[in-house]
A and B are shown apart, each in its own frame.
Chain A
Amino acid sequence: MRFGETRDPAPTTMEELAPGGLLAKLSRMDVVARRAIRGARSGERRSRKRGGGLEFAEHRDYEPGDDLRFVDWNVFARLDRLVTKVFIEEEDLTVALLLDASASMDWGNPNKFLFARRMALCLGVVALRAGHRLRVHGLGGSCPPDLAGLRGGSRSLPLSSWLLDARASGGSDLAETVGRVSGGRQGRGVLILLSDCLEDGAADAVRRAASSGWETWVLRTLCPEELDPGANGLAGDLRLEDVEQEGGVEVTVNRSLLQAYHARLNADRSNLESEVRRAGGRLVELDTSLDPELVLFELLRRGGLLR
């Protein structure tokens, strides 16, 4: 078997995509938005929109035209000053899943694309069960048409069908696609990008999403062959050929080169993380060899994406 060649069979059912009753274990989880986000309609999520909600937000000076029902008469009695109570209006949360379906994702053992789809299914199911609006977009590859406006736990089926039908191939213009998806007129929320971020432009994509008001999470999915190629059998005089691009690079894989590769990978991690953080997003690196439950219940919960 060649280096990085996928051994895992392609899943054909939701159970294969999320084996071991994984979805059932997610019933109490929810997607966390760290800050109030303006939604499209009222829902169970705090909104930046002040007004008709039940949760008190703050006081502000009365201005002519304000509804007198919201004047805080207790404050007026104490301070002899008119102030108006402002309430946080509750809206639904939009969760956007962006799945990188470029050819580079369909690689590694365990397969990155399979792992990313598994994570997308779990996160999507969590979002649907929590009553959030869910959007699913494929970046590159040959994916079914985008899913939008999914809401309610019963919509897990179309989500899984979409994920099962998605195929990774070709390249993906990450920044362009993320910019297009995040710049729509639909409500903002949490944007979760599942990608290996091996192409240039990942940080730019995060920046575009953040500037459009999305709370952005980058779940960087890397396989063991990328994290430690030397330990996974890469050695000798090789011509490394990119699965997405023409041409190749001739290398003699020795200890020096592997050290240089690890140094470059670490530098790339640091750069991407600082870029994402600077753009207001968060980056979590996922090793495809990790147990999905560990990822969901530990890494993402501790990272703050889930609760």
Chain B
Amino acid sequence: MNFLSPIAGLVLAAAVLPPLLLLWFLKLRRARTPVSSQRLWREAIEDMRANAPFQRLRWRWLLVLQILVLLLIAFAIARPRVQGAGESGQRTILLIDTSGSMRAVDTDDGRTRLEHAKDVALARIDALHGGGALFSESGETMVLSFSGDAVVECRFTSSAAELRRSIAEITPTDQPTRAVPALRLARAYATNTDPESPWPVGGPAVIECISDGRIPDLADRFLEAGESLVYHRVGSADPKNWSYSVFAADRDVRDPRQVRVLVGLIAEGAAVDGELVLRVDDAVVATRTIAAPEPRDDAPYARLDLVLGPFTLDAGATLEAEVVVSDANPADNTAWLELPPPKPLRVQAIAPVPDLVRFGLESLSPASFDVVDSVEALQTGYDFTVWPAESLGDAILPEGRHLVLGGIPNGLGIRQVSDQTAPAVVMAIEALHPVMRGVGVGRLEILNAPTWKASRGVTELMSGPGGGLVFAAEPPGRRVVAVGFDPMQSNWPALPGFIAFLANTAAWLSEVPEANAFEPGDVMRLQGTPGANAMLSGPGLEVEIPFDFDGRGEFGPLRSVGRYVVQSPGQRATGYAVNRTDVEENLLGSSEVLQLRGTAISDEVSGSAKKSIRVWILLVVLAVLLGEWWLWRR
């Protein structure tokens, strides 16, 4: 047995019992008994009061029954539930988790969590619609599935066959777990409304969630007043699994044909050793033995980052990484990547470009490096533009990618704290950012550095004593690296780290990130021939995508990971990769409780839900009251 509102019951018991005892003494109904004289009794009572300020509580059946009644009411308010079927005529909404973690196989029977969840749901259907001596009146049940979004699998019905059929048709997805849309939908259905009544009719439905409990978006949601949420847990709390956190490839800035592949792996639990296989266009190019490192700080998982390559890839390619191992979730063992063909670096700059900066950029061997005299002379077709501070003015940077030297342009969310400049040294750098990777700043000294303050969304790559010095920002349509001080007012161009900074900046500004990469649950937005249709094929999928007159088409939300191909008439096929790389979503350990804000709902034993026994308690209260009445009248 457990309680949905234990605090409420305890508070009530604590609040009503002392007043009951008080009222018992103050307002006890007493039998009228004649005596020849009150005098001796009055004097005796006065004697007792003088000797004992408080009379001891005596054993009285009426008092005991009244305390019992109050305790039972408090018990009922705590909403106890016991193992059983359901309320007579109750409306129930079954929420079935179909997210990627439900593909996990962590039981010996080789069946996925989703299949177990469906078993639980079917058992609940049997319990709710199986009839019985006490609950012969069958209620209505609705089935919702949820992952990235909520899907109504079956509307309210009392037909067990229809419910079973809808449950059997539920298919797994690779989407993340988002229960809030499902909860919102369930709440909308849970309120029983009559169109002719301004008020809700009948009681709210009971929501039963069948899941592994890894539902992060529920943590900031409250359980509403009167709402019943039951959690049926499936899955193991300690699975052994490998999954991906990163699958990316970088072409070398100097030689774009050279490709390095970064694979970030997550080892959850005591993941067994295995092998990572990297394929390029279905041909194995590398294998690597993987073993789970020790997790840090009692984390439930450990990270393993691997860099493979470089490989020489002259053209675009499809990369596939596969962890060859027997683990809890085979569905997340493969990741795909569409690598675009090498693109020569093309840079344009607005004069004047300091010589040391020019030398640094030219050392990257760009295919073209052109300098224009003014902003108006800028051309398209370049990977990024180098802006000296003098040319900035008050203008906002145009769409595109930019490297700004000696100042911060407007519109980036960075403001100057004061007009004063002062000598500065570097206090900290954002070493994990791609622009600062391997950039040494130990001996960097700045003669005149303004003080800048960045707002949220801007990355402070390099910080001085008064504020930021170098920033990276990605406002809509732009990607900008801005150096807030004049490099020529420092010794930076003379240091090796400056070349590394320019090389990283050029690589970051010229990359085409995630253009063809999606996560499950994303909507795939495509550009094609206006008014034409394209064929999208993917894992177990083949659909036609229409493009509007602006050439825009979309498909989604994507349900499964894998490689998708869009074939437009008369054009080359384009590949797209859909991977699960969200670490939290990839973790599989099921949770014992469903954590809501302020409430933790314990899991039920799978197969049957607990039944509220409040009605029975209230019946007992009525019986006790009748007994009390009988005692009273006796």
Binding site for B on A (CB under 8 A): 2-5, 104-105, 107-108, 112, 196, 198-200, 223, 225-226, 234, 236-245, 247-252, 254, 256-257, 260-261, 263-265, 268
* Cβ contact within 8 Å between A256 and B33: no
State the majority secondary structure of interface residues on B: mixed
- Looking at B30, B34, B52, the one whose CB has the most chain A CB atoms below 10 A away is B34
State A132–B291 Cα separation when bound (angstroms).
130
Quick check: B32 and A252 within 8 Å, CB to CB?
no
B379 within 8 A of A: no
**Nearest-CB distance from A182 to chain B (Å)?**
24
Which residue of A199, A244, A245, A257 is within 8 Å of B48 (Cβ)? A257
- Check B31 against A238 for contact (C-beta < 8 Å): yes
Q: Is the CB of A252 within 8 A of B33?
A: no
Residue in A112, A237, A243, A268 whose Cβ sees the most chain B Cβ within 10 Å = A237
B36-62 Cβ-contact flags toward A at 8 Å (1 or 0): 111111111101100110010010100
Residues of chain A lying within 8 A (CB to CB) of residue B39: 198-200
Q: Report yes or no: B33 in contact with A198, Cβ–Cβ below 8 A.
A: no
What is the minimal beta-carbon distance from B52 to any residue of chain A, in angstroms? 7
Q: Of B37, B38, B48, which is within 8 A of A256 by CB? A: B48
Residues on the A chain within 8 Å of B36, using CB: 4, 104-105, 107-108, 112, 196, 198, 223, 225-226, 242-243
- B35, CB-defined interface residue at 8 Å: yes
Whose C-beta in chain B lies nearest to the C-beta of A263?
B47
Q: Do residues B43 and A240 form an inter-chain contact, with CB atoms below 8 A?
A: no
| Contact of A4 with B35 at beta-carbon distance under 8 Å, contacts A237-B60, A249-B45, A257-B48 already known | yes
Chain B residues lying within 8 Å of A252, measured Cβ to Cβ, are 28, 55, 58
* Chain B interface residue bracket vs A: 20 to 34
Q: Given known contacts A234-B33, A252-B28, what 19 new A-B pairs fall within 8 Å (CB)?
A: A2-B34, A3-B33, A107-B36, A200-B39, A225-B36, A238-B33, A240-B41, A241-B33, A243-B34, A249-B38, A249-B42, A249-B45, A250-B30, A257-B44, A260-B45, A260-B47, A261-B41, A264-B47, A268-B40
Report how far A241 CA is from B34 CA in the complex, Å: 5
Q: Which of B42, B44, B55 contacts A263 (CB 8 A)?
A: B44
Contacts of A104 in B (CB 8 A): 36-37
Complex: A256 Cα to B48 Cα, angstroms: 8
Sample of 24 A–B contacts (CB below 8 Å): A2-B33, A4-B33, A4-B34, A107-B35, A107-B36, A198-B40, A199-B37, A234-B33, A236-B31, A237-B28, A237-B60, A238-B30, A240-B35, A240-B38, A241-B33, A241-B35, A241-B38, A249-B45, A250-B30, A256-B52, A257-B44, A260-B45, A264-B43, A264-B47
Q: What is the bound-complex CA distance between A251 and B55, given in angstroms?
A: 11
Chain B residue numbers with a CB within 8 Å of A112 are 36
CB distance from B53 to the nearest CB of A (A): 13
Give the complex CA separation of A113 and B228 in angstroms.
72
A5 to B41: give the CA distance in the assembly, Å.
Answer: 18
For A257, what are the chain B residues with a Cβ–Cβ distance below 8 Å? 44-45, 48
**Taking the nearest CB of chain B, how far is it from the CB of A203, in angstroms?**
14
Rounded to whole angstroms, the CA-CA distance of A193 and B35 in the bound complex is 22
Q: Given A2-B34, A238-B30, A240-B33, A251–B58 Cβ distance below 8 Å?
A: no
A252 to B25, CA, bound (A): 10
Contact residues in A for B37 (Cβ distance below 8 Å): 104, 196, 198-199, 242, 244
Residue of B nearest to A112 (CB): B36
> How would residues 476 to 499 of chain B score, 1 for a CB under 8 Å from any chain A CB and 0 otherwise?
000000000000000000000000
Residue in A closest to B39 when the chains form the complex, CB atoms: A198
What's the least CB distance linking A126 to chain B, in Å?
A: 28
How far is it, in angstroms, between the C-alpha of A240 and the C-alpha of B35 when the chains are bound? 6
Q: How far is the CA of A252 from the CA of B31 in the complex (A)?
A: 10
CB distance from A37 to the nearest CB of B (A): 33
Give every chain B residue within 8 A of A237 (Cβ-Cβ).
28-31, 60
Residues of A within 8 A of B45 (CB): 249, 251, 257, 260
C-alpha spacing A261/B39, complex, angstroms: 10
Q: Which chain A residues border B52 with CB–CB below 8 Å?
A: 256
A100: min CB distance to chain B, Å: 11
How far, in angstroms, from A198 to B39 measured CA to CA in the complex?
7
Q: Which residues of A contact B42 (CB under 8 A)?
A: 249
In the complex, which residues of chain A have a beta carbon less than 8 angstroms from the beta carbon of B34?
2-5, 107, 240-243
With both beta carbons as reference points, the residue of chain B lying nearest to A102 in the complex is identified as: B36
Closest to B29 in A: A237
Among B31, B36, B38, B48, max chain A CB count under 10 A is at B36
A247 to B51, CA, bound (A): 25
How far, in whole Å, are A4 and B42 apart by their CA atoms in the complex? Answer: 18
Please measure, in the bound complex, the distance between the C-alpha atom of A152 and the C-alpha atom of B51, giving whole angstroms: 57
Give the shortest distance, in Å, between B606 (CB) and chain A (any CB). Answer: 54
